[in-house]
């Protein structure tokens, strides 16, 4: 795991793959809980019987469920605890190129594209690619922005 202690430490890794998270099991219980939390009960995510008759062969994870794994999986790749604060700042691009079947495993690969400094910290531009076990293309690709602050009170 990469554990940068400063913006300069991060800048030394621009253009690099920072690492890959461990695998995460995608369960129907998690998908149902996500559906409850978001109000998105579209049957392709929650109705196993009906979804079995589709080209997917079963239920698939919500795209936003996959994206919602980013904070937890990123924390297993890059430790930002040495900063006064680190926050999700948003997304530039987001795509869901392939489905993520429920019952599969997913992991996240993080690449540091840029570090844009501002007084007291920096905006990190990361490409987060979510891969399913045995899949031939990513299930989610996001250009994510995170802000790190080197001082309190920013």
pLDDT digits (tens, 9 = 90+) for 82-139: 999 999 999 999 999 999 999 999 999 999 999 999 999 999 999 999 999 999 999 9
Sorted by where each begins, the domain ranges of the chain are 7-149
What digits encode the pLDDT tens for the residues 13-45? 999 999 999 999 999 999 999 999 999 999 999
Distance CA 27, CA 102 (A): 6
Distance CA 67, CA 139 (A): 10
pLDDT of residue 151: 77
pTM for this predicted structure: 0.94
Q: Among residues 84, 112, 89, which one has the least CA distance to residue 10?
A: 112
Superfamily of 7-149 according to CATH: Hotdog Thioesterase (3.10.129.10)
């Amino acid at each position: 795991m990469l554990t940068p202690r400063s913006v300069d430490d991060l800048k030394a890794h621009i253009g690099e793959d920072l690492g890959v998270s461990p695998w995460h099991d995608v369960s129907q219980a998690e998908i149902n809980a996500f559906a409850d939390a978001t109000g998105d009960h579209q049957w392709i995510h929650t109705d196993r019987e009906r979804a079995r008759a589709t080209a997917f062969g079963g239920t698939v994870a919500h795209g936003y469920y996959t994206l919602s794994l980013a904070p937890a999986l990123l924390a297993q790749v890059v430790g930002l605890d040495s900063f006064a604060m680190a926050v999700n700042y948003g997304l530039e691009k987001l795509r869901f190129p392939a489905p993520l079947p429920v019952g599969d495993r997913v992991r996240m690969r993080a690449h540091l594209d840029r570090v844009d400094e501002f007084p007291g910290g920096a905006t990190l531009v990361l490409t987060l690619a979510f891969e399913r076990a045995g899949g031939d293309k990513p299930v989610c690709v996001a250009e994510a922005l995170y802000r790190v602050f080197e001082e309190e009170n920013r």
